[in-house]
Each structure stands twice: as structure tokens, then as C-alpha cells.
Amino acid sequence: MSEIGWIVLAAAAMTYLTRAGGHLVLSRFRRIHPRVEAGLNAVPAAVFTTLVAPAAMNATPAEALALVVAALLGLRGGMFPVFLGGGLVLIAGRYLLG
Amino acid sequence: MSVVPSARRAFASEFWRGARRGIPIIVASAPFGVLFGALAVQNGFTVGEAVMMSATVFAGASQMVGIELFGKAIPAWMIVLSVFAVNFRHVLYSASFGRRTSHWTGWQRALGFFFLADPQYAETERKAEAGETIGFAWYLGIGLPMYLFWVVDAWLGALFGRLIPDTHALGLDFLLPIYFVGLLMGFRKRPLWLPVVIASGAAAMVAHAFVGSPWHVSIGALAGVVLAAAMPVGDEARKTYAESGDRAGGR
């Protein structure tokens, strides 16, 4: 196999290790400390914020507007409205604002 | 009439319930899956290697970082380490996912980990938060179709990458941030949501400016998690913990 192939397989093994590893470490403990529990409960808010942060930081006005609309629609729940609303505002905004 | 067909029907209906939740995910990730295939070929991958990466790694951001580094004369171990850095957040997903799926068999969980990308994690947490059990069939429904599409996306991108339309005018390049904002809002009723968002957002932006991508993801995520863990423990949680220790034989 090519060098690229081997690197890809190593990357795949590494990725699986991260996905299995957290559980393998945590399952060695018989009970979960409340602080660990609180930390785990914060994971969605923490991670999804960091995934949005660079895009929000470097957003053009049209993109910023789309993110705000998506967030407001997200208050009501349901991913389809978020998508449709955010996407339409983005397309219109880029067309009008450049 | 017999037990087996009805069990199979229940499995199928759970699977489809999951698959329906997965449709927005497939839509949001498609532009990136195709883009990955196109960029991979531009960076010297064969079509087969591009498809193999999507099929074995199944983690979009880290795949992008990986092919980005291939173009430059960077040692292999650095590339693998960078992939690890981007994917480190999955360690946190995994720890939480294990709590949600303690009723699964070991093999089911081993397979489940493979599909544990951002959207699958988010949907699992959301379902658990609603007090529902995470069924294996439901989880496969949300993971398997997206996985198959992800692999096909890479293949299409690698084959027809040069024909990609103007993704900017169509807004396709910005679908993922919109999607992640929607996911983020879905968790706003959790304790400490706003402080965690502020801490992670600030840390991620500072890290993005001074350390650089992809490290801002791990640094930003850890900031929010550490903040939540450092907050005073409520009386109720402390009591539950003490009681669980008594049951376990104490220590």
C-alpha cells in the first residue's frame, strides 16, 4: 500500500481510539464523581460553541445575520426550520450585501 | 404471528425513526463530504484513497486537516497527531456515550463508537435528555445512512470535483456553522449552559488567534468543561454520590 494509505489507516485508528477511549477510561471507575458528571453534561455546549466560534469570529455581515437567525429559530427546536431559515437568510444576504 | 417478525418490525421502525432524524445531518454534511473528495484528489490522493479515508476515519474536520497537511512536506507522525488533536473532543463524547448505552452489549458499543461523530453524539444526548432510552436500532438508523452518504460524497467529489458549482453563492460552504448553532441551542436548558458557551467561545477565539486551528477546538472545549466541573457541587449531587459509594461498598 502507498504511504498515503498507511497514514490514512493510522489516522483512522487514532480517531477510533478517541471515540472508544473516553468510555474505556471512565468505565474503570465504579462511580462518577459529581464534578466529572457536571463536566460531561457541559460537553455539548462547550464543543459546539468551539465549532461555531471561528466561523462567527470571521463572519461577513450576511453570515453573522444567518447565524443569529439560525440561533433564534433554534430556540423553538427542530433542525429543518434552522436550516431553511438560516440558509435562506444567508443566500439572500450574500446576494444583497455581497 | 411469531415473535421474530414482530421483533424485526420493531427494529425496523426504530431504525427508521433514527434515520428520519438523520436527514438534516446528511444534507448539512454533503457539501463537505463532496468537497473533501475534491480537495483530496487535488492534494495527490487517488480516488480510492480519498474514499478510503472517508470510509475509515469518518470525521470531517480531521479529514480536511489531514489532506491539508499532505500537500506540504510534513512528517507522517505530525499528520496523525494533528488528526488526533482535531478529534480529541470525541474522548469527551465517548465518556458520555458510555453512560447512555450501558444496556448495550460490548460489540454494539464497539460498533457504536465508530459512528460517534458530532451529529450522532448530539442526537444521542438530546434523546437521553428527553428521558428516552438510546436503542441500538435507533442509533444505527442515525449513523449508518449518514456514513454511507459520507462515503459516496467523497467518491463523487473525487470523481467530479472540478464540476462543483459556486458553493459560496448557494451558501453551501456555511451550512455546517448554521447546523452547529442549531445543535447548540438545543442544549440551552442544561445547567450552566450560558457560562459554558461564553467560556468555550472566548477560549476558542483566543486559541484560534494565538495557537491556531485545529487546537482551538480542544482548548475551547476543555475551557467550558473545566468551568462546569469547577462549579460548586449541589447538595443533591453530593448526596447521590455518597449513596452510590455506600452501595458499591464504599471507599
Same domain for B102 and B213:
no
Question: Is residue B180 very low, low, confident or very high in pLDDT (cuts 50, 70, 90)?
Answer: confident
Same domain for B180 and B207:
no
Give the integer Cα–Cα distance in Å for B224 and B89: 12
* Contact call for residues B203 and B220 (beta carbons, < 8 A): yes
Same domain for B195 and B183:
no
Say how many domains are in chain A: 1
- Say which DSSP state B72 is in: S
Least Cα separation, residue A18 to chain B (angstroms): 5
Please report the number of interchain residue pairs, chain A to chain B, with beta-carbon separation below 8 angstroms: 296
pLDDT at B49: 95
Low pLDDT (below 70) residues in chain A: none
pTM score: 0.82
B 221-240 → A contacts, CB under 8 A? 221-231, 233-234, 237-238, 240
Same domain for B53 and B148:
yes
* Contact call for residues B125 and B109 (beta carbons, < 8 A): no
The average pLDDT across B95-108 equals 94
Domain membership of residue B220 as a residue range: 191-251
pLDDT at B149: 97
Least Cα separation, residue A7 to chain B (angstroms): 7
Same domain for B226 and B170:
no
Query: Is the confidence at residue B35, as pLDDT, over 90?
Result: no
> Has residue A34 been placed in a domain?
no
Boundary-marking domain end, from B173, B189, B205? B189
The average pLDDT across B133-159 equals 96
**Phi and psi torsions of B88, nearest 5°:** -60, -30
Residue of B nearest to A60 (CA): B174
Long-range contacts of B8-11 (CB under 8 A, 24+ apart): B10/B137, B11/B137
Give the integer Cα–Cα distance in Å for B149 and B142: 12
Residue of B nearest to A96 (CA): B169
pLDDT at A89: 95
- Say which DSSP state B104 is in: S
Side chain identity, residue B218: S
Boundary-marking domain end, from B152, B174, B189? B189
pLDDT at B251: 40
Same domain for B204 and B103:
no
Same domain for B222 and B173:
no
> Has residue A81 been placed in a domain?
yes
Question: Is residue B58 very low, low, confident or very high in pLDDT (cuts 50, 70, 90)?
Answer: very high
Domain membership of residue A55 as a residue range: 46-98
Which are the contacts of B33, defined by CB distance < 8 A and separation ≥ 6?
Answer: B54, B60, B149, B150, B152, B153, B154, B157
Same domain for B229 and B165:
no
Same domain for B60 and B20:
yes
Same domain for B46 and B22:
yes
* Contact call for residues B219 and B204 (beta carbons, < 8 A): yes
Same domain for B246 and B131:
no
From the list A43, A46, A52, the residue facing B180 with the nearest CB is: A52
> Has residue A9 been placed in a domain?
no
Upstream peptide bond of B5 is cis (omega within 30 degrees of 0): no
Say how many domains are in chain B: 2
Residue B210 cell numbers, joined: 494565538
Boundary-marking domain end, from B138, B156, B189? B189
Which are the contacts of A75, defined by CB distance < 8 A and separation ≥ 6?
Answer: B185, B188
Question: Is residue B146 very low, low, confident or very high in pLDDT (cuts 50, 70, 90)?
Answer: very high
B 150-169 → A contacts, CB under 8 A? 168-169
Question: Is residue B101 very low, low, confident or very high in pLDDT (cuts 50, 70, 90)?
Answer: very high
Same domain for B213 and B153:
no
Is some CB atom of chain B closer than 8 A to the CB atom of A46? yes
* Contact call for residues A46 and B195 (beta carbons, < 8 A): no
Residue B17 cell numbers, joined: 425513526
Residue of B nearest to A85 (CA): B178
Upstream peptide bond of B232 is cis (omega within 30 degrees of 0): no
- For cell 456515550, the residue is B97
ipTM: 0.88
Question: Is residue B2 very low, low, confident or very high in pLDDT (cuts 50, 70, 90)?
Answer: low
Compute the radius of gyration of chain A from its Cα atoms: 20
Give the integer Cα–Cα distance in Å for B107 and B116: 14
- For cell 474505556, the residue is A24
pLDDT at B67: 84
- Say which DSSP state B115 is in: T
